[in-house]
A = this chain, B = another copy of it.
């Protein structure tokens, strides 16, 4: 990434609930992806922030476009199965090369997240409009900058442990729920050359992506996940050794 050049961000949205549930459409008239993109633009005015959705050809993620993305955010819930395996394969390769990936809420079950982590990514859940309080575990982490010791969302879906993921490289947030559960709600991993951040909040029936703290966290995560190098992975047959190999008896 040339540091002169703006950070290129694509906010991917499943965009199904917005079409089928009036409550969601009312909360997010420009789509959940629209609200997420707006929040990133607020905090990273120099970035070039675009959106892409499931319904576009190749889900808006053609090979040519993907090659130009620095950080991709992903929200999905109802239609994980409709995401084509070819696109998942392509996104997977780009993350290993160095593209950042921000995985939001119910995208814990997105094909791309499960493929990168290799585990079940399962959890427990409840929809009861309860209060969530996200505690910062790592106040110096770039993703927590500008956030107080904790912040609250007055109503959210609950996700509870056990969360079926490999141990995070860094734990940024853990959530407390009014109904009695806890959840590792902000987790970092590195895979290949790419950085991955999972961020829990964001159920479609609440105005979570209009929340000031949530927007700041997502923008911080986008900046954190920017590529810092590029690894074009290759299986190389290195025929010429760098040192002399002694002839072996069995080779006779």
Taken together as a complex, chains A and B put the C-alpha atoms of A169 and B180 apart, in Å, by 26
Nearest B residue to A251, CB-CB: B129
Q: Which of A44-52, A67-75, A110-118 lies at the binding interface?
A: A110-118
Task: From known contacts A237-B125, A245-B128, infer whether A136 and B120 are also in contact, taking CB-CB under 8 Å.
Answer: no
Give the distance to chain B from A200, nearest Cβ to Cβ, in Å.
Answer: 13
What residues of chain B lie closer than 8 Å to A136, measured between beta carbons?
161-162
Q: Which residues of B contact A180 (CB under 8 A)?
A: 133, 176, 241-243
A96, A123, A182 interface centre (most CB from chain B within 10 Å): A182
Which chain A residues (174-211) contact chain B, with CB distance < 8 Å? 174-182, 184, 189-193
Q: Are B161 and A235 in contact (CB under 8 A)?
A: no
B130 contacts A241, C-beta separation under 8 Å: yes
A235 contacts across to B, CB distance below 8 A: 122-125
Q: Quick one: copies of this chain in the complex?
A: 4
Q: A82 interface residue, CB < 8 Å from B? A: no
Question: Does A239 touch B at the CB level, under 8 Å?
Answer: yes
Asked whether B167 lies within 8 Å of A175 as measured between CB atoms, the reply is no
B129 and A245 contact, CB distance less than 8 A: yes
Contacts of A116 in B (CB 8 A): 118
> In the complex the two chains form, is A241's CB within 8 Å of B124's CB?
no
- B contact residues around A170 at 8 Å (CB): 167, 190
Asked if A228 CB lies within 8 Å of chain B CBs, one says yes
Interface presence of A56 (CB below 8 A): no
Q: Decide yes or no whether A119 CB sits under 8 A from chain B.
A: yes
Asked if residues A162 and B139 are in contact (CB atoms below 8 Å), the reply is yes
A238 in contact (CB, < 8 A): yes
Asked whether B140 lies within 8 Å of A228 as measured between CB atoms, the reply is yes
Nearest CB on B from A138, distance (A): 6
Of A4-12, A30-38, A141-149, the stretch lying at the interface with chain B is: A141-149
A-to-B contact residues, CB < 8 Å: 96-98, 115-120, 122-126, 128-131, 133, 135-142, 144-145, 150, 154-155, 158, 160-164, 166-171, 174-182, 184, 189-193, 227-231, 233-239, 241-243, 245-246, 248, 250-251
